[in-house]
Amino acid sequence: MKKILFSLFLAGFMLFGLRADAQNKPSGNILEQFKWKKRPLLIFTPSAENPAYLRQKEIIHAGEAGLADRDMVVIELIGEDAVYVNGTRQKGQYGKALRSRFEVPQEDFSVILVGKDGTQKQRNKAAVELEKVFGLIDQMPMRRQEMREDNK
């Protein structure tokens, strides 16, 4: 009887431990944490030396205030699996999943705007001026509501 109780206790303890570990691991979908909070701008590049990527970095640096005003987060996917969110390297295997979800081959450069609802809003295969991105965002119903609330 003691062995059975001990086995049940041990099994419950192990199950609880596995559940706690699963809660502490990344979900595999890095975009989920931004849903309904931020507008991700995904930048896919085969390497950090790619000319289109370097140009996009310059454009983003010049437009940081507009990014913040529109609740945007910049997610860079460099090479096979290096992922940076607003310049900070992320742990986890997010790059492959994002490349697959948005159908961007590793050798391609793409800039993809994702809305707060988690869906793709715009895709460019070259560096894109932020005025073009901001113009699209500013026409979205959710953004218009945000602007009205900001003016109150």
With cut-offs at 50, 70 and 90, classify the pLDDT of residue 1: low
| Cα separation, 33 vs 45, whole angstroms | 22
Instruction: Give domain status of residue 8, yes or no.
Output: no
Q: Where is pLDDT greater, at 134 or 17?
A: 134
pLDDT tens figures, 120-140: 999 999 999 999 999 999 998
112: domain CATH number? 3.40.30.10
Give a yes or no: residue 98 inside a domain. Answer: yes
Per-residue pLDDT, 146 = 83
Regarding predicted confidence, which is higher, 6 or 134?
134
Q: Do the domain assignments include residue 137?
A: yes
**How many structural domains is the chain composed of?**
1
Inform me whether the pLDDT recorded for 36 exceeds 70.
yes
19 within a domain of the structure (yes/no): no
- 3 occurs within a structural domain: no
Instruction: Give residue 92's domain range.
Output: 30-150
Query: Are the beta carbons of 61 and 135 closer than 8 angstroms?
Result: no
Q: Which of these ranges, 8-22, 70-84, 90-104, has the smallest mean pLDDT?
A: 8-22
